[in-house]
Structure 1
Amino acid sequence: MPVASPGSDAGGSPQGGPPVVGGFPPGFLWGAGTSAFQVEGALDADGRGESVWDVFARCPGAIEDGADGSRACESYARWREDVALVAELGLGAYRFSVAWSRVMPEGTGRVEARGLDHYERLVDALLARGVAPILTLNHWDMPQALMADGGWAGRASVDAFAEYTGAVAGRLADRVPWWITQNEPWIIALLGYQLGLHAPGVSDLGASLAAGHHVLLGHGAAADVLHAYPGARVGAALSLFPCDPATPSPADVAAAEGSDGYVNRWFLDPLLAGGYPADMREHWERALGRPLDVIRDGDEDAIGGRSDFLGVNYYTRRVMAAAEPGPGRPFPWQVVDPGGTAPRTDAGWEVNPAAMHDLLVRLARDYPGVPLLVTENGGVFADAPTHDGRVHDRRRTAFLRGHVAALAEAIAAGADVRGYVHWSLMDNLEWALGYRPRFGLVHVDYPTGVRTVKDSGRVYAELARTGVLQPDPAVVPFG
């Protein structure tokens, strides 16, 4: 197909500049994403129960500048405006999450119909605009009531999640084509249960292992519920980080392989290849000093073979060096700065589209026959409206262009990618970092809630409309 990589001469613009990027398959989805806690606000509306993030936000110092989700982007009330924005951008898909605590305030048992009514209105409005809903069931906001059993570290979470899935599917599975059960199991386990930097703020290595495993079991249980509905396509969205050695030394190469097992294969293999990787089982057993008895007979069969697609969340790579295990480092490797002259986001992350290309090609090779959906890709850039009322975020536009070019090349190389969902539709609450990081294609003025489409959003709208990303980073006509 006619694609061109950045810097090549093939398919170049008439002015001789960077190439036009195109050649995406028919029906390719261009979308953008949000999650409930990050945008909705209205934490006490319509019978919503407390989530783990509500409680975590009240802990002094847990969230930067003492921020919380009480207002966020006010999307629970302004959802019609946001649907209109999605349609105005010409997007074919919108990824959003259902807040578990709006549907089951106590985590299990009673179903709050008003919460389901809200999401039904949202789904119907999207479909009326020709936008495919991509629904995420768990984007980190577990009901606080389930912490009585340890949250995800407790096995009861699996049955609770299946029950919640049934409540949402019973209302929406006849209309929602794409279902993401779990968002970023590794991040839930690492930041929520190992390091305590995210809700629920647990710092325990064994709890982290249990939480990650139960999140995957929850995926399997939810998939079994959803597959009772014809047409429901089910997958999990994984935070995948290509792991490169800092040097060619055998020790650093082994560190990169171990890190890949810890971050990527520990979740990919049980979902798509029949079970947990043996090398990482050994690493976990050494770190914990005991067998992995949380993984019971039959568990891997209950996780695998249930994914109709894989959601790929890609932001950057990890450069790894060998290191001795010690306090705060349970495994024999460490992340090091990549160095070099590559651009960085305002979060300090290296911008590396080539690593996304290689990741997608690797997934197609290692897990053949599994369609891919890029469910998150984006960067933090703190551009604000200027005197003309516009947001000239040229760095995000360049980020977008580089990654879309890498995506096109991966498809040309054989990766079966069905769509690309940019993170995020709008600036929002970025978890423990509060409202400072801005990921959006749309700028949000938090005191007023006013939305302003950034230049990157205008470029993305043209891409969604035509399937072609033009080479000139200048703003294209919009609206």
Structure 2
Amino acid sequence: MTRRSDFPSDFAWGTATASYQIEGGVADDGRTPSIWDTFTHTPGTVSDGNVGDVADDSYHLWRDDIAVMRELGVNAYRFSISWSRLVTPDGELNPAGVEYYRTLAAELNDRGITPWATLYHWDLPQYLEDADGWLNRATVDAFVHYVELAVQSLGDVIDHWITLNEPWCSAFLGYASGHHAPGRHVGSQAAHAAHHLLLGHGRGVAVIRRLQPEASVGITLNLYSVRAASDSDADRDAARRADGLQNRLFLEPVLTGRYPADVLADLGEEAWFGERTEDLAEIAQPIDFLGINYYSRHTAAAGERDADTSATPSANPGSEFVRFIDTGATKTQMGWEIHPDGLIDVLEQAHAYAPELPLYITENGSAWPDVVQPDGRVDDPERQEYLEQHVAACAAAIGRGLPLRGYFIWTLIDNFEWAWGFSRRFGLAYVDYATQRRTVKSSGTWLAGFLSGALEAPDGVPAQAAR
């Protein structure tokens, strides 16, 4: 069995959230619109037709959220700062935004919960998108200015900074498939947005180093375990392409100072990137840790190449023909296959690039159709089993000598799940959106017991996911 005592005493056990998904208060106290405000108010963009204007109302109910954290027994909390709440369109600090995040971080510290702040979790101010958003290099300058203001105003209460969350999503879901805000379809030029995001990361790291030398700073990438569906050359190439666009396009510039040439060739963007090689030294600024968001595995197979992809914009430009096949593994409500051993795969992949770099799982979790029982309980055995399996995978990773330093569960409370609206629940606590009442689910009760040392997780990786 896996026990809390199997992990280092200073291991970070946390949960994670994002500003647009939980805060609400979208027009309160000087906050201005972000691309997600605009996107969700555009008909047809969110599956259940909802918007995040109120979400979990955490802007007003953040004390309730800390109470949930206390009940869970976590020692860390990863949240994101709303750029639109902290900084005004004229580039000045918004005092109310500063006060909100200062008060939140200070209370977390007082409660023995370390704040981990993500500076960018997808919610670009709308006025910057109006000027072409992350496709415009000038957005990098705006981001660096925002980072400077954030650290100057919050650095005395926040020591752990994450520059970006999942730049693959920001670039390719936002600018290629249009499934996420800002909902654009620019094909392979979405990689230009990825480059500008990474340049913003590197320059942001430099700002934090200058203003707060003692801070711990990193970036969070969403990595997938990728395997070929067969040993055929076509399927192996499909896996190479999937791993390249999803993982290596971000890992390599951040950790090695170069872009993978094969991925730029897949995209047909060699010339554009070739003119920007001088940016790579800035992108590869040394970091203190790498955050990894892990949810599932891609099993890649080659499909038919279709010359006309305009009708169905893809998040994988240049590799639209790659198929992800069903392996028969159990799926979450999101349709994501459960492969706990894939968590070890992505840790090993990152570790190979930077063997001395501490690693954190900054998101891992699952959505299920939770139901409130007549007595008010919310039993979610599927989520508990998912957590048990992935906690065991974390222990196995440490046993292999991988420098895993923390595990953050997505997510603290049910919230606005981007293009899925309120139709998907990932929380350790159930939220009744009519009353905003938070109720810790049975998975959260299990976590509290595990962290207290009273409960265990089944040992090892399940047979269905064996390597």
1:155 aligns with 2:137: yes
CA distance in 1, matches of 2:453, 2:213: 31
Residue matched to 1:16: none
Q: Contact 1:358–1:410 (CA<8 Å) still a contact in 2?
A: no
CA distance in 2, matches of 1:444, 1:171: 31
CA RMSD, Structure 1 to Structure 2 (Å): 1.7
Matches within 5 A, 1:90-239: 90-106=73-89, 109-228=91-210, 229-239=212-222
Alignment partner of 1:291: what SS? helix
Q: Contact 2:205–2:285 (CA<8 Å) still a contact in 1?
A: no
1:378 aligns with 2:360: no
Residue matched to 1:304: 284
If the length of structure 1 is used for normalisation, what is the TM-score?
0.91
CA distance in 1, matches of 2:46, 2:403: 38
Matches within 5 A, 1:40-55: 40-55=23-38
Alignment partner of 2:330: what SS? coil
Structure 1 residue 111 displacement after superposition: 1.7
Alignment partner of 1:400: what SS? helix
Matches within 5 A, 1:399-418: 399-418=386-405
CA distance in 2, matches of 1:459, 1:143: 39
Structure 1 residue 58 displacement after superposition: 1.5
Give the number of equivalent residue pairs. Answer: 450
Structure 1 residue 104 displacement after superposition: 1.5
Match of 2:224 among 236, 241, 256: 241
Give identity over the alignment, percent.
Answer: 42
CA distance in 2, matches of 1:34, 1:54: 17
CA distance in 2, matches of 1:41, 1:105: 18
Report the more deviating stretch, 130-139 or 270-279.
270-279
Q: Contact 2:47–2:419 (CA<8 Å) still a contact in 1?
A: yes
Structure 1 segments unaligned to the other structure (5+ residues): 1-11, 13-18, 473-479
User: Which residue identity does 1:335 align to in structure 2?
Assistant: R
1:256 aligns with 2:236: no
CA distance in 1, matches of 2:223, 2:43: 31
Structure 1 residue 110 displacement after superposition: 2.1
Match of 1:292 among 238, 258, 272: 272
Q: Contact 2:3–2:450 (CA<8 Å) still a contact in 1?
A: no
Match of 2:326 among 331, 338, 345: 338
Structure 1 residue 64 displacement after superposition: 2.0
Structure 1 residue 150 displacement after superposition: 0.7
**Residues 1:421 and 1:347: Cα distance change in structure 2 (over 3 Å):** same
CA distance in 1, matches of 2:220, 2:107: 24
CA deviations over 1:161-216 (Å, ceiling 9, x no partner)? 01001111011112212111100000111110001111111110244111111110
CA distance in 1, matches of 2:339, 2:378: 24
Structure 1 residue 295 displacement after superposition: 5.3
Structure 2 segments unaligned to the other structure (5+ residues): 460-467
Structure 1 residue 254 displacement after superposition: 1.6
User: Which residue identity does 1:156 align to in structure 2?
Assistant: A
CA distance in 2, matches of 1:464, 1:98: 27
Q: Contact 2:15–2:412 (CA<8 Å) still a contact in 1?
A: yes
Q: Contact 2:79–2:116 (CA<8 Å) still a contact in 1?
A: yes
CA distance in 1, matches of 2:248, 2:454: 32
CA deviations over 1:237-264 (Å, ceiling 9, x no partner)? 1010111111111211121012111110
Residue matched to 1:69: 52
Alignment partner of 1:135: what SS? strand
Report the more deviating stretch, 434-443 or 108-117.
108-117
CA deviations over 1:421-478 (Å, ceiling 9, x no partner)? 0000010000011001000000000111010000000111122333963449xxxxxx
CA distance in 2, matches of 1:453, 1:335: 38
1:318 aligns with 2:298: yes
Q: Contact 1:224–1:306 (CA<8 Å) still a contact in 2?
A: no
Structure 1 residue 217 displacement after superposition: 0.5
Q: Which runs of 4+ in 1 moved over 4 A?
A: 19-22
Residue matched to 2:464: none
Residue matched to 1:461: 448
Residue matched to 1:3: none
Structure 1 residue 367 displacement after superposition: 2.2
Alignment partner of 1:312: what SS? strand
